[in-house]
Amino acid sequence: MLVHEAMSTTILTIGPAHTLRQAAALMSARRIGAAVVLDPDAGGIGILTERDILNSVGLGQSPDTEPVHAHTTTDVVFATPAWSLEEAASAMAHGGFRHLIVLDGGEPVGVVSVRDIIRCWVPARRREHAPA
């Protein structure tokens, strides 16, 4: 199975000047765990995850004033729609993260998460182990 079959094509794109509270509210409303951060001044595409927000709050920072750009990961590993789910899972395991931005032609077209991969793999495993 390929990344384009598992990824979410509903992408939340936010800017670097949003506050963490604004980002969290948008992520919560869409029931997603990561947002794509577009910041042309800082090199382009980054990612903000629910864990980034949690870490900031855990440090006592105010989500009402803390800007997204201060918590954005800019050293991002990107997937392509043609990657296998095994390649995506390997990249996640190697990098220690749970989301990959999927790029096609340099543009974000989706996000694939560990949850997306599991959702695809579990039914396939059931079929493999079903009695014939």
Q: What is the value of pTM for the model shown?
A: 0.86
Residues 34-81 have pLDDT tens digits of 999 998 776 689 999 999 999 999 999 999 999 999 999 988 899 999
Do 66 and 58 contact (CB within 8 A), yes or no? no
CATH superfamily to which 3-129 belongs: CBS-domain (3.10.580.10)
Confidence of residue 10 (pLDDT cuts 50, 70, 90): confident
Q: In what helix (H) or strand (E) does residue 101 lie, and over which residues does it extend? A: strand 99-104
- What's the full length of the chain, in residues? 132
120, HSE (Cβ side, Cα atoms, 13 Å): 18
Tokens at 46, concatenated? 């980054």
13 - beta bridge partners? 36
